[in-house]
Every structure is written in C-alpha cells, then in structure tokens.
C-alpha cells in the first residue's frame, strides 16, 4: 500500500513539474542581445539600440501586458521595430496588442511591418488605422531616414508577400517590394530592413541590404541541442533560419524567435523572446 501511495505521489509530482515546465516555456520571456558591427554604421550610431518585437499573436504577458512593458523599459531602446504578426488571424483581438502599443509610443519611436497573419485576418485596414492613431510608423514598401546627431541611416519596411497580388512567386514579390521601398533612397547609407520572412535572405543579400530584422519562424517551435528548430512555416522540417544572427556576404539577418504561438500552441526549449540589436 505504501509503495502504491509513493508511486502515485511521484506521478503527481512529475505531472505538476511538467506542467510548470510547459507554462514557463510559453511565458518566461528571454532577452537576446546581438551586436552588429559594420564600417558603414555612422559614428553617432555607436551603441544605438533597436528593440525587436515579433510574432506576438495576441499573446498576453501579465495584466495589460505589464510583464512585457517592464522588460521593454529595462532595455530603454532608441527605437522599437515590430516585425509582423502582432495579431493572430484565428483569434483576432486588436486590443491585446494596443495595450502594448499605447505604452510603447509614450517614450519610443515605433516602426511596424506586416506579417502573414495581418493579411489572413481580413481586418488589416482597421488595425493599421489603430496603429497610426497611436503614432506608430507603419512601413509598407517604403523607407524613412533615422537621424542621430548630424548622421542618418535608412530604415526600410516591406509587406509580407501574402499582401502581393495574383499567383506570383513570393521571392519576386519580395524583390519588387524592396525596390519600391528604395525609391528616392540614399543607397550609400547603412540600410536596415524590417521584413517578416527570414527565408528570403538570398533576395535581401542580392538587394545589398546591410541588416535585416525578421521573425515568422517561431524559433522552430521546438528547439533541440545541436539541432536547432524542428519546424517553421514556409521552411518545413529542420528549417535553416529560425533564431539568432545569420551572415551571408555583406548582409546580416537577425531572426527573432518571437513571443506568441499560432497553429502549434506550445514552445519547448524555445522561450518567448525579445531581441535587442546594438549597432557598433
């Protein structure tokens, strides 16, 4: 009888422990710092911090997003870049995202580009109106100059290719969007692109972009030691671009693991993440 009770207690402890583990994997936010060094970065931008938020998917972190907001304030970035999928098309709730946005814009310039879920929601026009109402800079195949002192860098933002028309190849859509974003741009400056999709690194490299911030892959959902992510949208099984820094030729690409989930509701060894990119 005693052995049976001990066995039941052990099983309960294992189940409770596993439940806590799964909860923390979905809710304990990690901060990843990535330093980018380039001779093209102007001297006044040394130490410049870009806080990247990606793939929130309506995820809540505390009351009124308090946990996420406190993380953001502790970083105190120069600008905030949101690289798509702020909302989730299957459980659309713009107010969850606006709780975060309203706090962001009080202190920081915020830049936003679309993800595939913005398109799939069928409600993007109303979402964009809300973002602009609060002062978010929505970049749709366009660029802006970011000034510090007397020097500037270019910040480009493009739509997710789901916003493209017809049955065109997504890679071609991406190229056309980048070319449109470059119109009247000073190309000799340091160029930073916000784009939801990491799988188009070849196109980014061919377009001679210096730094790309992306998301979409959710870190591969489940991450295993020495292997990395297991599956990612548009990349399939054992995806190549899921998290961290990738360098190809003169292009550096930072892929955020993101914060929320969509089709697969659980992360494993892949905690939600915000990324701090520091220019040097």
Q: Tell me: the pLDDT tens digits for 161-214?
A: 999 977 889 999 999 999 999 999 998 999 999 999 999 999 999 999 999 999
Which is more confident, 187 or 97? 97
Give the mean model confidence (pLDDT) for residues 205-232: 98
Residue entry with tokens 């710092």:
33
What are the Cα distances from residue 38, in Å, to 210, 211, 243, 279? 9, 10, 21, 8
pLDDT given for residue 54 in this prediction: 99
239-274 per-position pLDDT tens digit? 999 999 999 999 999 999 999 999 999 999 999 999
What percentage of the chain reaches a pLDDT higher than 90? 95
CB atoms under 10 Å from CB of 28, counted, come to 11
Tokens representing 130 are 């809300």
Residue entry with tokens 């070849």:
202
Q: What is the Cα–Cα distance from 85 to 56, expressed in whole angstroms? A: 6
Structural domains in the chain (count): 1
7-39 per-position pLDDT tens digit? 999 999 999 999 999 999 999 999 999 999 999
Give the mean model confidence (pLDDT) for residues 65-93: 97
DSSP 106: T
How does DSSP assign 47-102, residue by residue?
T-EEEEE---TT---SGGGHHHHHHHHHH--SEEEEES-SS-TTS--HHHHHHHHH
104-116 per-position pLDDT tens digit? 999 999 999 999 9
* pTM > 0.85: yes or no: yes
Q: What is the CATH number of the domain that holds 161?
A: 3.60.21.10
Task: Note down the domain range covering 265.
Answer: 2-279
Task: Give the strand pairing for 244-248 and 251-255.
Answer: antiparallel
Nearest 5°: phi and psi at 261?
-130, 165
| Residue 258 and residue 55 in contact, taking contact as beta carbons nearer than 8 Å | yes
CA atoms within 13 A on the CB side of 73: 10
């Amino acid at each position: 009888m005693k052995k049976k009770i001990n066995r039941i207690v052990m099983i309960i402890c294992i189940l409770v422990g596993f439940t806590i583990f799964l909860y923390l994997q979905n809710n304990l936010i990690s901060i990843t710092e990535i330093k980018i060094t380039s001779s093209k970065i102007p001297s006044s931008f040394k130490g410049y911090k870009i806080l990247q938020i990606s793939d929130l998917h309506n995820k809540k972190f505390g009351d009124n997003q308090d946990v996420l907001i406190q993380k953001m304030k502790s970083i105190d970035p120069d600008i905030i870049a949101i690289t798509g999928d702020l909302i989730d098309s299957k459980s659309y709730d713009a107010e969850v995202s606006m709780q975060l946005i309203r706090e962001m814009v009080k202190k920081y310039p915020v830049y936003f580009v679309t993800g595939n879920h913005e398109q799939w929601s069928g409600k993007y026009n109303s979402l964009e109106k809300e973002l602009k109402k609060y002062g978010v800079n929505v970049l749709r195949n366009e660029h802006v100059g970011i000034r510090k002192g007397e020097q500037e860098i270019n910040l480009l933002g493009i739509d997710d290719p789901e916003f493209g028309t017809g049955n065109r190849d997504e890679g071609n859509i991406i190229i056309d969007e980048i070319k449109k974003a470059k119109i009247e741009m000073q190309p000799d400056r340091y160029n930073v692109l916000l784009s939801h999709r990491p799988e188009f690194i070849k196109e980014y490299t061919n377009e001679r972009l210096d730094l790309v911030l992306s998301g979409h892959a959710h870190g591969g959902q489940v991450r295993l030691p020495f292997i990395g992510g297991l599956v990612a949208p548009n990349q399939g099984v054992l995806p190549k671009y899921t998290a961290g820094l990738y360098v190809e030729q003169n292009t550096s690409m930072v892929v955020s693991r993101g914060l929320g989930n969509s089709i697969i509701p659980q992360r494993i060894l892949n905690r939600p993440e915000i990324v701090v990119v520091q220019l040097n």
